[in-house]
Amino acid sequence: MMRSSRLDRQLRIEGWNQPALENAKIGVVGDNDSLASYYVMSASALGINQVLVLAPVLDPTLIEIAQKLNHRFTLTHIEGFFTHPVMAHLFEDCDFIVDLSQYGLVNKLLIEKGFRENIPIIRGFCHQTNGDQGFKVFTYLKGREWQELEQVISEHNLPNHHFDDAVLASIVSGIVLEESKNLLMNQQPSEDLISYKRKTISSPHGQPRILIVGSGALGVFVGLGLIYSGFRNLTFMDPDVVEITNLNRQVLFYDAVGTHKAQTLSNKLNALFGTGSNALVACFDRNSDIASYDVVFDCVDNFESRIILSEKSKRHGKVLISGGTSSDAGQIIIYNPVDNDVTPAELLGLYDIVEKRTPETYHRERAACIYQPDPSVIMTNQITAGIMVDSCRMLIDGQKPANVFYDSTSSVRF
Amino acid sequence: MTEIDLKKELQTDESEKLLPLVLEIIPGHAAEGLIDIYEPGSYAAKSLKKLCDKTLNKKNLSIEEQLIVEDIKRQLDGGKLLSRGQEIEGTALEYAVSEETEAGEKYLFVPIRAIKPQEGGRRHWIDD
C-alpha cells in the first residue's frame, strides 16, 4: 500500500510497467565524481531496487537519500576502477550496464562486452573542451556500431582528473534514467547522441538573493543544484504540505509526509550542506513582494501563479527563470529584464488558457468529474530543474541562455 | 548555437530575399513537420503568422500531411507557434536562415514548432 501510494503518480502513466523496474538489476560504472551517485538516487526514487556500482567513491548524502526513499532498494558498491576485462564478470546478471566513467579503457571494454554478449550499454558523461562545457548520452545496442561511438570514448585511457559539475550531472543522470526506463519497459531508447553544450562558465557568481517559488519536484532539484553551484542566499516559498504521492520525485521528503514543503526543504538543505536558506510557508499571489530578490525561480504547478510571477518580475525588473514539466516533457523560459524579453506568460500564451478557465466552467466541469492528478516522474523534473539552474549560472556569467522545450520522446531534446 | 551566432545567421541580405522560402511547422518535438514552399515575392510582405495560417489551412494534403496537421492542432489546443523558442512576430525574413540543398540550390528556411506549455502537477477533473 505504502509502495503503491509512493509511486502513484508514475503508475498513472499509460503503458507504465513498474514490475519491469522493480525486478531489474542494473550495473553502473562510475568515477570519482557525483554522476553515479545522482543516478543511484534517482533510480531508487523511480522504484528500481537493485543497483551494483563499481566506482572509487559515492556521495554519502545522495546515497543516504536513495536508501531512505525506497526501503526495497539494495545497493552493492564495489570501491575501485574498472581496469581489467575480468571485472566485467561483476555485471554478469545485470540487465544492462550504465557507463558514467571518464576513462577510455572502461568505455571500450564495456562496448566490447555489449557487442560480444548483446548487452545494452548506456553511456553518459560531462565534458569540458575548447572553452565549452556540456554532456553527452548515447545508448549502445548491438548493431549500433555507429560513428557516434567515437564521441563517447573518453580522451584519457586511464582514470584522471576531469571536469565535474553537479548540475550537469543531475541532468545527465535524468536522461540516462529515461534511457534505462525505456530499455526495461521495451520502449525505444534514443537513436541519437543526446548532447548539450554551452560556453564555459568562468566568472565567480557572487551571492544573488534568490527566491524559489514552489518546493515540489522542481523546487527540490533547483535547490540542490543551486547549493551544489555555491549559491547560498536562498528562500523557498510554498504553502503545501508533503503528500506520500510526492515521494517518487521529491527526493528530500522521504521522512516528512504532512510537513510544510518549503520549511522542510530549507531545513533539509541547511542540515545536509550547512547552508542558511530561508522558508516562507505561503502561496505566491498578487500581494507577494519580490522587491528584495535578484532572481526568481518559477517552480509552481499552475498557470495562474505563473502569470502573477511573470507580471511581478516584469514590474520589478527581476530575472525570472520559469520551469514546467509533464511526465515526458519540460520547458524552461528565461525572462531577463535587461534584454526586455517577453515574459513566460506572454510567450506561452497563458492568458488565453486561463481565460477559458472561468470559475463557472471550472465548477461545472468539476460537478460531473472525478479527481485526476497529473502523472509525474523524477526524470523530467531533474532535467528541467538542472537546465533552469544552468540557465541562471549562464545569465550571471553574461551568457544568454535559450528557452528550452525538452521532450523525452523526441530525437531533438535541446 | 549562441544567440550571437544565430543573429549572424538570421541576417539576410537583399539577394537572399529573392530565394524561395521553406516553412516547416513541426508538432512539438517531432522529427518531421508540415512543409510549405513560398516563391520569392509571395512572402516578404506577409507576417510569419499569416504564412503559418495559410500553410495550416492548405487543402489537398496527403495522408501523412493530414496526420501531421492533426498533431499540430492538438498541440495548438492550448499551445502556441514558436520559432527557436521565441514568439513569431514580424515577417518570415526575420526568422529565416539561409540553407542549400545537396545540389547547391539556396533557399531560406524557417522552422516553427507548435508547443503546448507544461503546467506542472495541477490537479484536473475528468469525466466520470
Residue with cell 512572402: B43
CA distance B20 to B106: 8
**Per-residue model confidence (pLDDT) at position B123:** 55
How many other β-carbons are positioned within 10 Å of the β-carbon of residue A36? 31
- The answer to whether residue B109 is domain-embedded is yes
pLDDT of A369 above 80: no
Pairing of strands A50-55, A74-79: parallel
CA distance A128 to A163: 6
Q: Which of left, alpha, beta for B62 (phi over 0: left; psi -120 to 50: alpha)?
A: beta
**Residues A44, A47, A53, A55: is their CA dihedral positive or negative?**
negative
**Per-residue model confidence (pLDDT) at position A400:** 94
> Grid coordinates in use for A32?
570519482
Cβ–Cβ < 8 Å for A311, A304: no
pLDDT 10s digits, A119-137:
999 999 999 998 999 999 9
pLDDT of B6 above 80: no
Which residues in chain A touch residue B30, judged by CB atoms under 8 angstroms apart?
A: 410
Cβ–Cβ < 8 Å for B112, B24: yes
- The answer to whether residue B11 is domain-embedded is no
**Per-residue model confidence (pLDDT) at position B1:** 45
Residue with cell 560531462: A126
CA distance B26 to B85: 13
CA distance A64 to A76: 13
CA distance A197 to chain B (A): 9
Please enumerate in sequence order all residues whose Cβ is within 8 A of that of A78, keeping only pairs 6 or more positions apart, or say none: A52, A53, A54, A55, A90
pLDDT of A361 above 90: no
Q: What angle do CA B122, A377, A295 make, to 5 degrees?
A: 65
Residue numbers of A between 230 and 289 with CB closer than 8 Å to B? none
- What is the number of domains present in chain B? 1
Which residues in chain A touch residue B113, judged by CB atoms under 8 angstroms apart?
A: 405
- Kindly provide the ipTM of the predicted complex, given to two decimals: 0.80
pLDDT of A363 above 90: no
Put simply, whether B125 touches A (Cβ < 8 Å) is: yes
Residue numbers of A between 286 and 305 with CB closer than 8 Å to B? 300-303
Residue numbers of A between 169 and 208 with CB closer than 8 Å to B? 199
Cβ distance B128 to A409 less than 8 Å, yes or no, reads no
**Per-residue model confidence (pLDDT) at position A367:** 53
CA distance A305 to A319: 16
**Per-residue model confidence (pLDDT) at position A209:** 98
Exposure string over A364-396, b if 16+ CB within 10 A, otherwise e: eeeeeeeeeebbbbbbbbbbbbbbbbbbbbbbb
Domain that holds residue B55: 18-115
Which of B31, B80, B82 is facing A412, going by the closest CB pair?
A: B31
- The answer to whether residue B7 is domain-embedded is no
Which residues in chain A touch residue B87, judged by CB atoms under 8 angstroms apart?
A: 342, 346-347
Nearest CA to A120 out of A106, A101, A139 is that of A139
Per the prediction, chain A carries an average pLDDT of 94
pLDDT of A355 above 50: yes
- The answer to whether residue B12 is domain-embedded is no
pLDDT 10s digits, A379-403:
999 999 999 999 999 999 999 999 9
Put simply, whether B70 touches A (Cβ < 8 Å) is: no
DSSP A197: E
Cβ–Cβ < 8 Å for A333, A348: yes
Which of A330, A372, A403 is facing B124, going by the closest CB pair?
A: A372
Q: Which of A112-116, B38-42, B75-79, B120-124 has the weakest average pLDDT?
A: B120-124
CA distance B35 to A270: 53
- pLDDT bucket at B57, cuts 50 / 70 / 90: very high
pLDDT of A343 above 70: yes
Please enumerate in sequence order all residues whose Cβ is within 8 A of that of A76, keeping only pairs 6 or more positions apart, or say none: A50, A51, A52, A53
pLDDT of B2 above 50: no
pLDDT of B118 above 60: yes
Per the prediction, chain B carries an average pLDDT of 85
**What is the percent of chain B where pLDDT is above 90?**
64
CA distance B18 to chain A (A): 30
**Per-residue model confidence (pLDDT) at position A374:** 86
**Per-residue model confidence (pLDDT) at position B5:** 47
CA distance B85 to chain A (A): 5
Cβ distance A369 to B85 less than 8 Å, yes or no, reads no
Residue of A nearest to B87 (CA): A347
Put simply, whether A329 touches B (Cβ < 8 Å) is: yes
**What is the percent of chain A where pLDDT is above 70?**
96
**Per-residue model confidence (pLDDT) at position A180:** 98
**Per-residue model confidence (pLDDT) at position B30:** 86
Put simply, whether B7 touches A (Cβ < 8 Å) is: no
Average pLDDT over every residue of A187-212: 92
- pLDDT bucket at B4, cuts 50 / 70 / 90: very low
Cβ distance A347 to B86 less than 8 Å, yes or no, reads yes
Which of A326, A368, A410 is facing B128, going by the closest CB pair?
A: A368
Which residues in chain A touch residue B84, judged by CB atoms under 8 angstroms apart?
A: 402
Cβ distance A324 to B115 less than 8 Å, yes or no, reads no
Pairing of strands B106-115, B80-83: antiparallel
Average pLDDT over every residue of A45-60: 97
Domains of chain A: 2-199 (3.40.50.720), 210-407 (3.40.50.720)
CA distance A231 to A250: 20
**Per-residue model confidence (pLDDT) at position B126:** 45
- The answer to whether residue B55 is domain-embedded is yes
CA distance A319 to A198: 20
Which residues in chain A touch residue B86, judged by CB atoms under 8 angstroms apart?
A: 347, 403
pLDDT 10s digits, A56-114:
999 999 999 999 999 999 999 999 999 899 999 999 999 999 999 999 999 999 999 99
DSSP A12: T
Size of interface A-B (CB pairs under 8 A): 103
Nearest CA to A153 out of A217, A220, A94, A105 is that of A105
Nearest CA to A215 out of A239, A232, A238 is that of A238
Chain B interface, best mutation among A13, A353, A384, A394, by max B CB count within 10 A = A353
Which of A374, A403, A404 is facing B124, going by the closest CB pair?
A: A374
Put simply, whether B124 touches A (Cβ < 8 Å) is: yes
Put simply, whether A403 touches B (Cβ < 8 Å) is: yes
pLDDT of A216 above 50: yes
Put simply, whether B86 touches A (Cβ < 8 Å) is: yes
- pLDDT bucket at B121, cuts 50 / 70 / 90: low
pTM to 2 decimal places: 0.91
Which residues in chain B touch residue A349, judged by CB atoms under 8 angstroms apart?
A: 79-80, 117
Which of A301, A302, A348 is facing B80, going by the closest CB pair?
A: A348
Cβ distance B117 to A301 less than 8 Å, yes or no, reads no
Residue of A nearest to B76 (CA): A349
Cβ–Cβ < 8 Å for A387, B5: no
Put simply, whether B126 touches A (Cβ < 8 Å) is: yes
CA distance A40 to A28: 9
pLDDT 10s digits, A21-33:
999 999 999 999 9
Residue of B nearest to A347 (CA): B87
pLDDT 10s digits, A292-329:
999 999 999 999 999 999 999 999 999 999 999 999 99
- The answer to whether residue B65 is domain-embedded is yes
**Per-residue model confidence (pLDDT) at position B125:** 45
Which residues in chain A touch residue B115, judged by CB atoms under 8 angstroms apart?
A: 331, 348, 405
**Per-residue model confidence (pLDDT) at position A412:** 73
Residue of A nearest to B127 (CA): A369
pLDDT of B14 above 60: no
CA distance A221 to A217: 6
- pLDDT bucket at B17, cuts 50 / 70 / 90: low
Cβ–Cβ < 8 Å for A110, A20: no
**Per-residue model confidence (pLDDT) at position B7:** 46
